[in-house]
């Protein structure tokens, strides 16, 4: 791993959160030593976990992590203590770790968790596709492949592709396409390495953190007259060309004509 990649990894919020947990652990150790040395009192394990969590949450606030990190940082040491008390078999943790790794894969780096869309979004996207023969559409971060499979059924003359970096969702989507005899195609990889120039429509359901980079890539690569769509997350500071509100409190669909 090169120096640039190491620096990029160290900037990710997940790595910051881990380092903050380590710093909070050191603070709790110092507190325990201080209480034993100067007050002759021991810090019990539950109190230590609560102090650890509170310290981690406060440091996260000071380091300006996203607000949703605060409860995670606070709960983590208490949850760890609870799981330890349950004395669960060790293989269970390995199985859970492997399953989550296959599902979320590089979420710690990309800051894009697993977000499935849904039929309402699929229908909205279908209504925005150009009528041209052989329309080409890609879903970046395609998850379980629902959108691509739906569009391929509606427009069999088109070319519909999904790209997904996490191995388990990619495998499920590829198997679904094979079993259904769908013309939808699923690629395992990072969409940053996929050229957008060949597509008429690019759809994304990512996260707020990923939108500026997605916009920069779309502006650099997408052809005039093509369409960039984002479910739920708008591009900061860029006025959308269209907004389709979601029904019954569902997120909106945003679009930008290139």
**153 lies in the same domain as 239:** yes
Position 138 in a domain:
yes
**238 lies in the same domain as 147:** yes
Position 28 in a domain:
yes
pLDDT for 104: 56
**71 lies in the same domain as 139:** no
Q: H/E element holding 158? A: none
**60 lies in the same domain as 151:** no
Sign of CA dihedral 88, 94, 99, 100: positive
Dist CA 62 CA 43 (whole Å): 25
Last residue within a domain, chosen from 87, 106, 134: 87
Dist CA 28 CA 36 (whole Å): 12
Dist CA 92 CA 39 (whole Å): 41
**78 lies in the same domain as 128:** no
3-state secondary structure of 172: helix
Instruction: Report the relative pairing of strands 253-257 and 242-244 from DSSP bridges.
Output: antiparallel
pTM above 0.85, yes or no: no
Position 96 in a domain:
no
In which residue ranges of the chain is pLDDT below 70? Answer: 1-14, 66, 90, 92-116
**125 lies in the same domain as 246:** yes
pLDDT for 1: 46
Last residue within a domain, chosen from 87, 105, 139: 87
Last residue within a domain, chosen from 67, 87, 107: 87
**153 lies in the same domain as 228:** yes
pLDDT for 106: 56
Position 155 in a domain:
yes
pLDDT for 4: 47
**83 lies in the same domain as 123:** no
pLDDT for 112: 47
pLDDT for 244: 93
**163 lies in the same domain as 79:** no
Position 108 in a domain:
no
Residue 142 half-sphere exposure toward CB, CA atoms < 13 A: 32
Structure confidence by residue, pLDDT tens digits, 128-151: 999 988 999 999 988 889 999 999
Domain extent for 148: 119-257
3-state secondary structure of 187: strand
Position 29 in a domain:
yes
pLDDT for 163: 93
**CATH at 241:** 3.40.50.150
Neighbour count for residue 51 (Cβ, 10 Å): 17
Dist CA 196 CA 145 (whole Å): 19
**135 lies in the same domain as 63:** no
Sequence-ordered list of residues with C-beta below 8 angstroms from that of 137, at least 6 positions apart, any chain: 129, 148, 151, 158, 159, 160, 161, 199, 200, 201, 202, 203
Domain count for the chain: 2
230-237 contacts at long range (C-beta below 8 A, 24 or more positions apart): 230/203, 230/204, 230/205, 230/206, 230/254, 230/255, 231/117, 231/121, 231/203, 231/204, 231/205, 232/115, 232/205, 233/205, 233/206, 233/207, 233/208, 235/211, 236/208, 236/211, 236/212
pLDDT for 119: 87
Alpha helices in 63-166 (DSSP H): 69-86, 90-104, 107-110, 119-128, 146-154
Position 111 in a domain:
no
**251 lies in the same domain as 142:** yes
Dist CA 40 CA 38 (whole Å): 6
Position 218 in a domain:
yes
**48 lies in the same domain as 145:** no
């Amino acid at each position: 791993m090169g120096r640039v990649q190491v620096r990029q990894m160290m900037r990710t919020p997940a790595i910051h959160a881990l380092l903050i947990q380590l710093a909070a652990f050191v603070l709790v150790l110092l507190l325990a030593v201080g209480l034993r040395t100067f007050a002759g009192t021991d810090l019990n394990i539950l109190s230590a976990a609560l102090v650890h969590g509170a310290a981690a949450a406060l440091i996260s606030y000071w380091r300006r992590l996203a607000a949703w990190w605060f409860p995670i940082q606070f709960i983590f040491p208490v949850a760890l203590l609870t799981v330890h008390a349950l004395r669960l078999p060790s293989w269970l943790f390995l199985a859970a770790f492997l399953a989550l790794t296959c599902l979320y894969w590089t979420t710690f780096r990309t800051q894009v968790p697993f977000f499935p869309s849904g039929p309402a979004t699929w229908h909205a996207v279908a209504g925005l596709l150009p009528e041209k023969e052989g329309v080409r559409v890609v879903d970046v971060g395609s998850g379980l492949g629902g959108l691509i499979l739906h569009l391929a059924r509606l427009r069999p003359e088109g070319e519909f592709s999904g790209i997904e970096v996490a191995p388990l969702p990619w495998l499920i989507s590829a198997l679904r396409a094979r079993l259904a005899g769908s013309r939808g195609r699923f690629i395992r990889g990072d969409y940053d390495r996929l050229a957008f120039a060949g597509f008429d429509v690019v759809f994304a359901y990512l996260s707020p953190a990923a939108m500026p980079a997605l916009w920069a890539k779309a502006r650099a690569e997408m052809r005039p007259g093509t369409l960039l769509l984002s479910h739920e997350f708008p591009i900061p500071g860029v006025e959308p060309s269209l907004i389709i509100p979601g029904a019954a409190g569902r997120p909106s669909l945003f679009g930008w004509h290139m």
